[in-house]
Amino acid sequence: GAGVSQSPSNKVTEKGKDVELRCDPISGHTALYWYRQSLGQGLEFLIYFQGNSAPDKSGLPSDRFSAERTGGSVSTLTIQRTQQEDSAVYLCASSPLGVAGGPNEQFFGPGTRLTVL
Amino acid sequence: RKEVEQDPGPFNVPEGATVAFNCTYSNSASQSFFWYRQDCRKEPKLLMSVYSSGNEDGRFTAQLNRASQYISLLIRDSKLSDSATYLCVVRNFNKFYFGSGTKLNVKP
């Protein structure tokens, strides 16, 4: 079946512009996660959704970052007034959390590479 | 203290070698454990889940020691295609914690 998809795959923007990144999780996965990865660094947690609600937004680096999820499916991550330090790969993952007896691993999308000039 | 700690490496090994990676985690209540592989400029992909009894998948063997809060990955007969960064991942309820990764370079 289809995996996690993200769009756009690459985004180049100018400092100060807003950007919107999209994630389509695997159908039926209730949990959705956004991470950020700078070049050569580890994954930085941003936000977690269970259904349409976000019980954990603790990783969002500033109030310029927001995310929503609608219909328990697609999620968008919005970065307002982008700064050069926002340049990174933004990864989305989904998980069938709640499936009894399973390890409930995460499945990642290919990421959006954001470059802020 | 980080939730998950790994030796960053790099581990430089010849083809055919056996190599082992270790990882420790801080929360004894963690429920699930995984090894992911991440190739350069690609997303992480699940290599294998790690079970308490230990598990094997071809050339790969994973072990979990809950008492010591320690996870290991053994790769036998290394191939050039095994070159990647290996991420140790721990799940505690709905949150996943990632190690910073161990880089493996397999050389001809």
How far does A17 lie from chain B, in Å, by closest CA?
Answer: 25
* Rounded Cα–Cα distance for residues B22 and B38 (Å): 16
* Rounded Cα–Cα distance for residues A31 and B21 (Å): 29
Please, which residues 35-64 of chain B have a Cβ atom closer than 8 Å to chain A?
42-46, 49
Name the closest residue on chain A to residue B35, using Cα atoms.
Answer: A105
Bridge partners for A97 per DSSP: none
Please answer whether residues B62 and B73 qualify as being in contact, where contact means their C-beta atoms are separated by less than 8 angstroms: yes
Percentage of residues in chain B having pLDDT higher than 90: 90
pLDDT of residue A101: 61
Name the closest residue on chain B to residue A102, using Cα atoms.
Answer: B32
Farthest CA pair distance, chain B: 42
Tokens in use for A58?
């603790």
E strand segments, A1-117: 5-7, 10-13, 19-24, 31-37, 43-50, 53-56, 65-69, 75-79, 88-95, 107-108, 112-116
pLDDT of residue A1: 59
pLDDT of residue A39: 87
* Rounded Cα–Cα distance for residues A89 and A110 (Å): 9
Q: Does B22 touch chain A (CB under 8 A)?
A: no
Taking an 8 Å cut-off on Cβ atoms, the answer to whether B94 and A31 are in contact is yes
pLDDT of residue A98: 65
pLDDT of residue B56: 95
pLDDT tens-place string over residues A39-92: 888 899 999 999 888 888 889 999 999 999 988 899 999 999 999 999 999 999
